[in-house]
Amino acid sequence: MVSSTSLVGLVGLALLSAVSGENITNDAYFYGQSPPVYPSPEANGTGSWSAAFAKAKAFVGNLTAEEKVNLTAGITVNSGCSGEIAAISRLGFPGLCVSDASNGLRATDYVNGWSSGIHVGASWNKDLARQRGIHMGREFRQKGVNLLLGPVVGPIGRIAEGGRNWEGVSVDPYHSGLLVAETVEGVQSVGVGASTKHFIANEQETNRNPEVDDQGENVASVSSNIDDQTMHELYLWPFQDAVKAGTASIMCSYNRVNNSYGCQNSKTLNGLLKTELGFQGYVISDWYAQHGGLASADAGLDMAMPYSDYWGSNLTTAISNGSFEASRLDDMATRIMATWYLLGQDASFPSPGIGMPKDVNVEHQRIIGRSPASKDVLLQSAIEGHVLVKNVNQALPLKSPRMVSVFGYDAKGPETLEIVKFSFLSSSPAAQYNHTLWNAGGSGANSPAYVDAPIDALQRQAYEDGSSLSWNFDEKNPVVNPTSDACLVFINAYATESYDRPSLTDEYSDELVKNVAANCSNTIVVIHNAGIRLVDEWIEHDNVTAVIFGHLPGQDTGRAVVDLLYGRANPSGRLPYTVAKKKSDYGALLHPDQREGEYWLFPQSNFSEGVYIDYRAFDKEDITPRYEFGYGLSYTTFNYSNLQISQSNVDYSEYPPSAPIESGGNPRLWDVVTTVSATIENSGAVDGDEVAQLYLGIPNGPVRQLRGFEKVHIVAGQQESVRFELNRRDVSTWDVNAQEWKWQKGTYQVYVGKSSRDLDLTGSFDI
């Protein structure tokens, strides 16, 4: 195997910065920035994949060359699936259906609209993430979908205005990795494959695809220029957790990485994913992200979607003339079939796309319905992603109000509810001014069975209470009923695939809040936000008494927020990102990178900040945020005590002992080396859930990095213990020379508390 010890990354940037004068017109200029790693390693069926690979190899051994090629490239049959692989009838293989999205099945009916990735991140609940995956996966299975195109860990949220940050879980790799691993295991436990995406460093929508500009010039996709240490410690980390969890597929991304396209980048696919992480499944392209034929196959792409003009007979011809190895095609087909066997889809699975509306009779469509067992998980996942960030004088929960006035466009439901929701728009507005925001736009838009808008749930509440409502959805400066006990203002912050967000605020919504607050002494703001939303225009107004970041709860959005407003549920969400006081606090990571200078035809995005994004950057620059990562309030209070740190009796060599690579990499990386525990008391008057967070100060690294979290329910007046296990990877940094995770000799600082900046307990241990 020809390889390189590290990604060129910032070394290549030094070369780029030396260029001046005429625009670069040929991508040969960038040759060598992403090191070549060939050949693509064959999967060996380690661990739980063993039996599946034995079956897959036997199956592939009976295929013709043309049938093998057909397994690797999608077809369009108008079935309702996002993509399909053709059947091989003579061997009893029915084909495959793959479909969006990671928050509910898209473009169909009789399915639920689930909470989005950012909402899962805000819940900080590992068990709930798994349960959501299980129930959502069952709906995909009923519809005949073999592969769920999700979950999302890329983008991780490097750019504050990133258009697809809402599909991802968190700006923190540890947080994102654990919740995505739970999602993968939940989805695949019901026999549906997960395709974790988008691999890798896919952090902006601007220039995400090659295009022809207004001058008729061919413009390449943006290149994420990234160094090896940053790649491992930030962007690869959650993908490693997904691979360890057994994800059936990895979707490669649109962008270039160190000036090599993501779906034909041999370093990232062959080197990082298939060699270092021991990935046993198959790499599927994002739609139309394949830009080369043999080059993409040799670099590690296994399946092209939605079809491939580059492959087909070209692959068989290349094998015949010796320019392409037959063993590579066999490995591509074997990886695909191994997932089919691994998930038990050979034994029992609906026909591909059987429940999708374009290929189903009405009677069967009625049979395939939403599971009643999903209702509790659906609602709980909606509730737990809300984050209460302000609550002056216990304005919430509401206490038997006689008159509640409701304002804002986001309180009402949509006028129509087509099968495809919030699909690709011609632009990216700052807010959706016509209705409540339950999810956001693009291929992640889901298909709810209904939308329970906030006003719907508030009207039910008024009926039960015998109270009164007043409402005005459409005016920016509405008249406020002077007898109002509380004024609820609902606004939103929109985002969509294909575009990055125009801003982190919008003037109309800010003016609406200020106008209501000027005339109501108990103004409560609920924001349904597809990403970071700044609030400093009005957050310190004396009459703004409470604020909830509602994120994207899915179809039960109204019921969920009203349960919280009236105290039937206690807020337990925590922020999965940092809310700044002003947009300039995000520095160079506020806006996406644009085309400029001599790289006009080859846009560049230099990840020169390294691992210092979001809270790491705020800590490094000593910037005080409005609300820090991990922050959130409750209707009760919690006290921390009794920090205990104990070190395991393990091999404390600098590098992990060598071992055969398994799914996820060297298995010794998961050896537990240190255990931390603490006691938490609910010192308030109501039961509640606390999210205990552990941050680690690793020598020669950021001040603090999240390395543990546990969500625990505690009865009022009672206490519970929490326990965190730190493995070798958790306490290591990536050594670019040794190409290994390495101990840092010295003192490790331990912090346990309520958020990244509210840390009641501190301690340390030495290595």
Cα gap 461→464, rounded to integer Å: 5
What is the enclosing helix (H) or strand (E) of 696? strand 688-697
Cα gap 363→366, rounded to integer Å: 5
- Please state, in angstroms and as integers, the Cα–Cα distance from residue 123 to each residue in 315, 387, 391, 565, 584, following that order: 46, 8, 19, 17, 28
What average pLDDT does the chain have?
94
| pLDDT for res 728 | 96
Instruction: Tell me the backbone φ, ψ of residue 427, rounded to 5 degrees.
Output: -155, 175
Domains of the chain: 49-204+233-343 (3.20.20.300), 386-589 (3.40.50.1700), 636-766 (2.60.40.10)
Query: 45-55 pLDDT, tens per residue?
Result: 999 999 999 99
Cα gap 147→342, rounded to integer Å: 13
What is the enclosing helix (H) or strand (E) of 762? strand 761-766
| pLDDT for res 13 | 46
Asked if 680 and 694 touch (Cβ cutoff 8 Å), the reply is no
Torsion of CA 164, 169, 170, 173, to 10 degrees: -110
Q: In this structure, what token pair is assigned to residue 137? A: 């996966």
| pLDDT for res 262 | 98
What is the enclosing helix (H) or strand (E) of 240? helix 237-244
Residues 6+ apart with CB under 8 A from 451: 113, 413, 414, 417, 435, 436, 438, 555, 557
Torsion of CA 15, 17, 23, 26, to 10 degrees: 20
Q: In this structure, what token pair is assigned to residue 239? A: 């993908």
Torsion of CA 553, 555, 558, 562, to 10 degrees: -60
List residues bridging with 606 in a β-sheet. 225
Q: Of 104, 82, 121, 252, which is closest to residue 187 (Cα–Cα)?
A: 104
| pLDDT for res 418 | 60
Cα gap 623→613, rounded to integer Å: 13
Query: 56-77 pLDDT, tens per residue?
Result: 999 999 999 999 999 999 987 6
Q: In what order do the strands lie in the sheet with 403-407?
A: 387-391, 544-549, 523-529, 486-493, 403-407, 468-472
Cα gap 523→485, rounded to integer Å: 9
| pLDDT for res 11 | 41
Torsion of CA 210, 213, 215, 218, to 10 degrees: 0
DSSP for 4-66, written as a single string: -SS--THHHHHHHHT--SSPP--GGGGTTSS---BSPPPP---GGGHHHHHHHHHHHTT--HH
Q: In this structure, what token pair is assigned to residue 767? A: 């290595």
Instruction: Tell me the backbone φ, ψ of residue 204, rounded to 5 degrees.
Output: -150, 155
**Exposed, middle or buried by CB within 10 Å (0-12, 13-18, 19+), for 621?**
exposed
Q: Of 283, 223, 231, which is closest to residue 254 (Cα–Cα)?
A: 223
Cα gap 189→134, rounded to integer Å: 7
| pLDDT for res 3 | 40
Cα gap 561→569, rounded to integer Å: 9
- Strands annotated E in 434-481: 468-472
| pLDDT for res 1 | 37
β-strand 688-697 against 719-727: which pairing, if any?
A: unpaired
Q: In this structure, what token pair is assigned to residue 750? A: 């331990």
> Which residues of the chain are modeled with pLDDT < 70?
1-21, 77-78, 358-369, 418-426
Residue 36, preceding peptide bond in cis (omega within 30° of 0): no
Cα gap 721→254, rounded to integer Å: 45
Cα gap 253→455, rounded to integer Å: 39
Whether residue 286 lies in the annotated active site: yes
| pLDDT for res 75 | 86
Cα gap 238→664, rounded to integer Å: 10
Q: In what order do the strands lie in the sheet with 638-647?
A: 638-647, 672-682, 719-727
β-strand 403-407 against 486-493: which pairing, if any?
A: parallel
Asked if 761 and 724 touch (Cβ cutoff 8 Å), the reply is no
DSSP for 277-299, written as a single string: S---SEEEEPTT----SHHHHHH
- Please state, in angstroms and as integers, the Cα–Cα distance from residue 454 to each residue in 162, 485, 537, following that order: 27, 18, 24
Cβ count near 127 (within 10 Å): 10
Sign of CA dihedral 702, 708, 713, 719: negative
Residue 122, classed as helix, strand or coil, is helix
| pLDDT for res 7 | 53
Residues 6+ apart with CB under 8 A from 475: none
Instruction: Exactly one of 100, 241, 286, 359 is catalytic; name it.
Output: 286
